[in-house]
Each structure stands twice: as C-alpha cells, then as structure tokens.
Structure 1
Amino acid sequence: MADDIIGKVFSLISGNDEPDSDKKALLKQVVKEIGQNKYAKFYRVRTDEIDPSFAAYIYEIYKIVYPACAFVQNSSKISRMRQITVEAFMSKENLEIIRKLRPEVVQDKVKKLEPQELSRQLKEDLATLFAAFDGGRVANMNRCYNLNTALIQFAQYDFLSILRRFDTSLPEGNTGYVPRFQAAKAADVIQEMAAFRGVIQNLEPGDDWKNALTVMKIARDGQELIPLNVWNMLLMNLRELKNSNIIELMGQYASKNPIWLIKYESIDEQLAESWLEAKGSEVNGVIDSIMTRQRNSQIEALAIGVFGTPSITKLQFYNKEISDSIIEIGLDGFSYASPLNYLVAFIQDFITKEMQELCDILLVRGQWVNNALSLEMSNAVHAITDTTEAIDALDQTLSDTGTHGTRFRAALLRAERDKIQARYVNGVAGELDEQALELIKAAVQNLVVVGKFMKNLLGDSQKSPPEVIINWKELGYFTKAPMSQRLTDAYKKINFFVQLMLLQTHSE
C-alpha cells in the first residue's frame, strides 16, 4: 500500500498516468489519515473548515506565551540577551575582564593611563578573553542562544491574526475574555497554520530550557517569562502535535494538493564566535584610535619643533586641502600629501639655507682625512636638494597642462555618481602616492646619512687629535655660532624630521 501511494506521488509530480485520478486517490488517503489522527476533530472534511477546537488549542497556547509575546516587542532587551547569554557561561574572572573591556570603562582609563600602557593592558585582557572561549563553553553559549532564538520566533508568531479568524472580537492578551470561536474556512487559515507549524519546529522538550529561561528572566529584569514546568508541559504537547502531522494533512486537503509541505528553517546561530569577533573588533578599534591619537600628537609636536607650525602647504595640487576634499566625497585622497609637503618645506627652508652654509664650510674649507667620506656626504646633500625637482614634477601632473590635470578635475566633479570616474580618481591618487612614497623614502635615506655625519663630525670636533677633519680650529673662524652648536642643532633637526617622516609613512 505504501509503495502504491509513493508511486502515485511520483506520478503526480511527473504528470504521467492520469494525474487527476492519482490526485483524487492521494487526497482520499489524506482524508483517511485525518480521520485516524489524534487531532481529527480539528478539521471538518465535509465542509472544508477548521473546527473551533483548533482555535481553542491555539488560544490556550497563546495565554501561556503571552508574556513572551509582549517581551519580544522590546528590541533593546532582546539585544541585551546576546550579552547576557555570553556572560551566563563565563567565570567570575572572565566577567571581570569583560567589564574592563566595556567602552565606558576603557574611555575612563584613556584619561588616566599612558597610551602604550593602556594598549598593552587591552591586548592582554583580550588575549585572556579569547583563550576562555573553549569548545565546551562555546557550544553551551550557542545552544542556549539558539533555544532562546527559537522561543523568540515562537513568541513573535501572530497568534491574534489566526485567532481572530475564529473570533473577530478577541482582545489582545490574557484578559479573562471568554472567546466565542466559530469554524473558519480552511483555505483562509492554511497559511497561518503553516506559519505556526514552522515556528514550533525548533522547540523540543528535551533541550536545556532551564538555562535558556534563566537568561530570559535576567533580560526581563528578574521577572520570570514562563515557569519552567509550564513551558516543558507545553513543549511536550507541541511535540505530540508535530508528530501527528495534522497541520500538514489539513494543509494538503485544504489546498487540494496532496504533496503540500511546510518548509522549515533550522536555527544555527554562532553567538559565541560572532560576539567574540565583535568584541575583538571593538577593542582593537579602541587600541587603533589610541595609537592614532598618540601618533597624531607626536606628528604635531615634531612638526612644530621643526617648522614652528603643525601644518604646511608647499605644493599646489598634491596637498592636504585637496586630499581632504577628495575624501569628503568618499574617495581615497592623497596618502602622503602631508609628509611630501613637509619634505619640500624642509629642503627649501633648512637644507638649502641653514645647512648649505654649514655644508660649504665642512666640505669646501674642511681638510678631510678621507676624501671618500666628504664625497659621500656631498652626494647625500645634493640628492636631497635634487628631490625638489622630482616633487614639483609630480605635483605638476595635476596642473592644467599636466598628464592628469584636466581629466582629473573633471572626473572629480562626477565621481560621486559615476563609479568609473571614481575608480579613475582613486587610480591617479594611488599612482601619485606610490611616487610620493618613493621620493620620501629616498630623501629620508639621504637625510639619515647626513644626520650621521653631523653626529660623527660633532664627536670628531671634540677629539684630540681629530680623525675625520683635521682643521676644526680654522673652520671655527667661518661661523658666528660655535661649530659644535651648529652641528648639534643640525643633527637634532634632521633627527626630528626623519622621525616625522617615519611616523607619517608607516602604519605604526
């Protein structure tokens, strides 16, 4: 008999062998199964109606779960449930770490601790927290959260909608109202019955509902949602309903479709993993912001120390002002606008002015024991000053007569609404960034060379006898300030500037 029924189902699906007669045979079998079902009273086959007893069954469930129905409307408390679920399975020590990593606690520490010390503490606490999420704890968190997700989906079911199919006057809530349920056309109720069957699919009496309901109680500020014993009784009742397949059978006959089925979605939320990932991103974001503030503070202090001002614009196009305007429309901007403008200013205002006179004294009037050393220093100084030509050439590519200028400005006007133009702007900016970084790197390397010479020559000038330049006393006649002071000032300024460049061209 079973094989015959299965054959008819395949015949119906494929459209072969008199599908109408097969359909009737299958529907006849459905009627027979309804008649033999424990819940046969729910369906009136002759009139194609859902019996009031079905509404009464749903109503009893609604009265039990109404507190949950009201609770799930509070989105803020539902959001808290994620945090509560995680904390419910953590040790006291780990709960203290979680507390220490809360944004308000971290922000309070920002005011009290040095950035590096705070960053170190945050990294250590985060590593300890990650280690606490072992396999068993993760499984328990996920299981509890999935149970409560199933409960929430159940409580979010529109009980009133289906119940008012049977009694249009039914009020919301468990008010003591005595319903007057009437039979309802099955075709009008079938989709709501299917939805009900869907939301009870993931509710099973054998699961760990004690922990799940405890979490719900905490989220509800200590008020019990549903007593555990009442909930377990309800779950056993629902299991019987599911096992009977009565809703599927009613749906098949009401729709006159013997292969009508309900699609179920399993619940498999990875709460522990997603929470830990979010917490890690949050803490690392705080660390990054701390380090960025520290970095920006160091950059500003160094810039003021070298130039007397935190911001300098020397280039006409590749500068921070134009870069900021590009960033405002959601594009990348120029990554090295600030350091490249600093570099131009440093070469123009210091290398070619203050340093030039000092280098002339040292390289022209100085008697070097090893001429190869003087040539090395001379080449480094000239390489630095020559950088300005390459920087100017880079900047002029964005001028009206430059390689990118006219098209670049036109693309900027359309970039917000035209992805192709946006990609072009970002492409040009990226190309210029690569060139700017190479120029900065080369200049910094040569500045390091010159800086080392300043430091070594300062030491040499104080030796007796000197080993690099032998006529230090004579050189002193050509400078108003003491030679040692000029060498010290030059070394410090170059050293500060190199630090400024490194801070602006490295991520850390």
Structure 2
Amino acid sequence: MGNRNFFKDLLNSFFGGNNPEAAKKRALKNIAKNISKTKYHFYKASTNEIDPSFAKFFYEIYKAISPAQAMIQSINPAAFKHMVINNSLSERQLKALDNISENAITEAVRKKPLKEVFDETKIQIDAFSSEFDSAKISSIDNLYTNLMNFVNFLQFDYFFMLKKFDSGLKENSFSAAPRFSPISGTYVLEDLKNFADVAWPVLSDSSWEEVFKLIKRAKGVDPISSGIWKKILARIRYLKENRIIEMLVQLISENPSYKEDVSNKELYIVDDFITDAKKQAEATLNNLKEKQTEGKIEALLTQIFGTTQIEKLKFYTEAGSAPFERKEIGRFEYCEPLSYLKKFILDYVKKDIKELSDILLVRGEWASQELASPMSEAFHQLVENVDKIIALDNSLNDSVDLGLKMKTHLPRTERDKESRNIIHSTLNFVNTSAAKIILSSVNFFIIYGKNLKMILEDCIKQHPALIRNWKDIDHFAEGKLKQMCIAVYKEIFSFVSLMQNFHIEINEE
C-alpha cells in the first residue's frame, strides 16, 4: 500500500497531478472539448480565437432586430413607464389623472376658491390610486419589466461587436454580405458578458404579446414579427442551456472557475407613479397658493404702507442669508415679516397708535386700572419690540457679536463639521429670536385691537363702563376720537392679516 502511494505521488510530480496550473489547463481543455460538442463551433482553442461563425450568428440577430432598434431609439426613455401605466388605466383613472394635471388644476382655481380645489383634488387622487389593487400593480410591474428586458436586448451594441470582425461593416446596412475574419477572443470578452446580461432576462417571459401590442400602439407597427422573435429566442435559449457564453468567457479569460451571475431583476413602477402624480398635483396647488399669497401680501402692503417697496433691515436680509444657503447650512427665515413689523411699529405704533394711546390711556378715566392694563402693556411691549428688532439686526454685523462668529466659521464649513454646526445653531438662534419677536408682537396687536373694540362698543352706551370721561377726551380729540379708534383698529387688523400670510414658528433646539 505504501509503495503504491509512493509511485502515485511520483507520477503526479512528473505529470502535474497536484500542480494548480496543470489542473487549470486540464479544466480549460475539457471546456474546449465541451463547447466543440455543441452545434455552434465559435472558438478555436489552438489560437484562442473567435470564429467568424460567431459573428455570423450575431449578425443574423442584428439584421432581424435592426428595425426594432430604430423604433425603440425614437421613443423617449422616460415614456416607457407612461406607456405601460396608461395602457393599464381604467377610464375612471384616466379621467381622474387628467383632473389632477397642472392645466386642469390651474383652470379650476380660476373658477373656484383654492380651498375647494384642494379638496376636490384630494378626492381625485384617492379615486385614481384606489383602483391599484395588488393584482393590477403586479400586472403592470411585470409588463414594464418585460418591456425593459426587450428594450435592453435591442440596445445591446451588436454593430460595435461585429465591426471587430469586419472593419468595413456599415451600421444598419445589410445590402452587402459581410466579410468576417477570426479575431482574438480577448476583443469580445466584455461583449460576451454584456450580452449575457441583456439576453438571459428575455428568456424568462413566456409571452411577448402584450409587450409587442404596447409598442405597436405607440408606433403603429409591430417591432418584430412573432415568428422571427421566436427563432431568436430559441437560439439564445440554446446558448444559455448549453452554457456556451459562459464557456467562451472561461476559455478566453483562462479562468475555468468563472460563473455567470445574471439575474432577472423585477422592476417596480406603480408606487413611484402614484407618488409622482400626487407630488405634481400638490406642487401645482402649492405654487398657486404661493402666488395667491404673494398677491395678498402685495395688496396688504399697498393698503398699509401705500407701497410694496418696504425698506429692508441692515443685516437680516435675503442677501445676508445667501452665503449660508449656498453651503446648504440654513438661511434667515423671516426677513420680510420682520422688516414689515419694524416699519409698522415705527410708522404707526409710534405715531397713530401712540397718539390714540395718549388720549385713551393717559387722559382717559378708566373705571379701574386693571381694565386699562392689558392695552397699556400691549402698547409698551410693541414699542420695546422695535428696539429688539434693531438689536437683533445689528448683532449680525460681521464685525461684532453673532455676525463675527458666523463670518469666522463660514470659510471652515467645508472641512470642519464643528464650524458648520456652530453656524447652523447660530442661524437657528437668530431665526427663533425673530419668530418670538414677530409672534409676540402679533399677540400684542391682537390684545390692543380687542380692547379697542371693547372701547368702541362701550362708548355708544348711554352710561359707558370702561372710560368715564369719554365726552371730555372726545372733545380733546376734536370730536374725532371714535374715528381715530376705528382707523387704528383697521390698521391693526390689516397688519395682523399681513402677518398671517407667513408661516412663522419657534424652533427651540
């Protein structure tokens, strides 16, 4: 037994039994023998060349699918999804989809209030999406997967590969017979792998009727006759079942352990289509809402200030915000409303409202001081808030305080996460401070306005209960006290309405 093992090891050492290189050569020799037993003798092992019969095989496929290639190239790639889904929609869904289009929504807003159009659009979206049950979704996704498998197969660059065998070959020209020559297998190694990627998936579908119907509906003619397509599939199936492409790659790359890794990937389009339809409708509505809001803001600015050109703050501005927005760190959120608030306090609170407050709160004899306190406190807080606005704005001067901090850290944000966090935190602090000033001011305006309304209601009573000397202070106001109260109330109401067009919230980190 021992002698027999010795002689076996000795023979192996001479003839390479345990030599990896020798084992690889034997494996490649066996692969070459196996491929020679198939009906397609594409490979010449002695020279590692690909035979012209290989080129002829693919030339016949190329010639058969050439019209379909041109047809597919004329279709926008983005249209394939719409082709599949629109083909599967019911009349009810098509109508709902049309009703949530940009044109339909825009036209509806011209005739109805925006809120009503919002509600109607939601109903249409629900009607559109509710018919997509699991069976319908699966059917659509499968059809799209098959369509794209077909498209990918057509888009394989057959001409590029075939030109390697005949440099005189002309693209999509089949009048003259090609003259193919053998070439080194390395020239088509990647082509073989790429072909397997697009060819094997088309073998997974048992019926191509729906795919061809879809293309014919779009282009008016069949992409390829069913008989020719069946012959192509039969040839490809033979390649796959006999592992011809895989063996060619193994031989050319001299890697007998190479294995194909091609899987048929399922494509899913319905969920994204529904989401995109919703997003598009919502974007249209939001855009229209923004335009309406802009129109309301401009109208209110004109009503309140007599112009839409309101003086901006010094540093808390859109221009000051731009460097942070470019780096996607954040921005100054409330530039417009804060500038409007500052101007309103300076132009109206410190003038018209102060004049009225001096009469009502200073000269008026209130039934009790507690009744006058809310109105008095609201006025004084509003006056203080304009100082807070100016202080916050000045703190952003890049030579002091917060502005200096952000100016120092801004150049470092690309490489220093901490600097980025510092600026983000500072922006949040500034925006939160601005929001607090705006919201508190609106609240004080509401308090002042409510008390003013109570005074107006009280003054017409035979025996006023709030201010006892109404007649005296009205005389001081030259008989125009009531008109002054009404005018200030309207000013406050208009300004509060203006502020309600801005989404302002406090974000405490």
| TM-score normalised by the chain length of structure 1 | 0.87
Contact 2:92 2:128 in 1 (8 A): no
Question: Separation in 2 of the partners of 1:21 and 1:93?
Answer: 70
Aligned residue in 1 for 2:287:
289
Deviation at 1:202, TM superposition (A): 0.6
Aligned residue in 1 for 2:392:
394
Q: Deviations over 1:25-61 (max 9, x none)?
A: 3223323322333x35233334433333322221221
Aligned residue in 2 for 1:67:
67
Amino acid at match of 1:73: Q
Summarize the Cα distance change of 1:284–1:142 in structure 2 as closer, same or farther, 3 Å threshold. Answer: same
Match of 2:455 among 449, 454, 457: 457
Query: Where do 1:293-442 residues align within 5 Å?
Result: 293-313=291-311, 315-320=313-318, 322-323=320-321, 332-399=330-397, 402-406=400-404, 408=406, 427-442=425-440
Contact 2:105 2:285 in 1 (8 A): no
Aligned residue in 2 for 1:85:
84
Q: Does 1:495 align with 2:493?
A: yes
Q: Deviations over 1:240-270 (max 9, x none)?
A: 2211101111222232221123332533322
Question: Separation in 2 of the partners of 1:400 and 1:24?
Answer: 75
Partner SS state of residue 171, structure 1: coil
Q: Deviations over 1:274-329 (max 9, x none)?
A: 22222222222111111111111112222222222223226322235544686578
Aligned residue in 1 for 2:208:
209
Aligned residue in 2 for 1:126:
125
Aligned residue in 1 for 2:52:
52
Deviation at 1:150, TM superposition (A): 1.1
Amino acid at match of 2:212: L
Aligned residue in 1 for 2:22:
21
Summarize the Cα distance change of 1:315–1:160 in structure 2 as closer, same or farther, 3 Å threshold. Answer: closer
Contact 1:437 1:505 in 2 (8 A): no
Aligned residue in 1 for 2:8:
none
Point out the more displaced range, 290-299 or 472-481. Answer: 472-481
Query: Where do 1:187-206 residues align within 5 Å?
Result: 187-204=186-203, 206=205
Deviation at 1:408, TM superposition (A): 4.3
Question: Separation in 2 of the partners of 1:323 and 1:58?
Answer: 61
Aligned residue in 2 for 1:10:
none
Q: Does 1:443 align with 2:402?
A: no
Question: Separation in 1 of the partners of 2:205 and 2:414?
Answer: 56
Partner SS state of residue 204, structure 1: helix
Amino acid at match of 1:399: N
Q: Deviations over 1:383-402 (max 9, x none)?
A: 11111222221112123653
Deviation at 1:100, TM superposition (A): 2.9
Deviation at 1:133, TM superposition (A): 2.6
Aligned residue in 1 for 2:9:
none
Summarize the Cα distance change of 1:318–1:41 in structure 2 as closer, same or farther, 3 Å threshold. Answer: closer
Partner SS state of residue 65, structure 1: helix
Q: Does 1:178 align with 2:177?
A: yes
Contact 1:415 1:425 in 2 (8 A): no
Amino acid at match of 2:34: E
Deviation at 1:374, TM superposition (A): 0.8
Point out the more displaced range, 458-467 or 140-149. Answer: 458-467
Match of 1:264 among 262, 265, 271: 262
Q: Equivalent pairs: percent with the same residue?
A: 28
Summarize the Cα distance change of 1:247–1:136 in structure 2 as closer, same or farther, 3 Å threshold. Answer: same
Point out the more displaced range, 47-56 or 457-466. Answer: 47-56
Summarize the Cα distance change of 1:32–1:320 in structure 2 as closer, same or farther, 3 Å threshold. Answer: closer
- How much is the aligned-residue C-alpha RMSD, in angstroms? 2.8
Contact 1:398 1:405 in 2 (8 A): yes
Query: Where do 1:146-165 residues align within 5 Å?
Result: 146-165=145-164
Query: Where do 1:98-113 residues align within 5 Å?
Result: 98-109=97-108, 111-113=110-112
Summarize the Cα distance change of 1:210–1:344 in structure 2 as closer, same or farther, 3 Å threshold. Answer: same
Contact 1:171 1:177 in 2 (8 A): no
Q: Does 1:167 align with 2:166?
A: yes
Match of 1:483 among 481, 486, 497: 481
Query: Where do 1:209-248 residues align within 5 Å?
Result: 209-219=208-218, 221-248=219-246
Question: Separation in 2 of the partners of 1:314 and 1:176?
Answer: 74
Q: Deviations over 1:168-195 (max 9, x none)?
A: 3333226333233333333333332222
Contact 2:55 2:162 in 1 (8 A): yes
Count matched residues.
Answer: 488
Summarize the Cα distance change of 1:384–1:266 in structure 2 as closer, same or farther, 3 Å threshold. Answer: same
Aligned residue in 2 for 1:505:
503
Summarize the Cα distance change of 1:208–1:40 in structure 2 as closer, same or farther, 3 Å threshold. Answer: closer
Question: Separation in 2 of the partners of 1:325 and 1:251?
Answer: 55
Aligned residue in 2 for 1:33:
34
Contact 2:249 2:258 in 1 (8 A): yes
Point out the more displaced range, 131-140 or 316-325. Answer: 316-325
Deviation at 1:92, TM superposition (A): 1.0
Summarize the Cα distance change of 1:35–1:399 in structure 2 as closer, same or farther, 3 Å threshold. Answer: closer
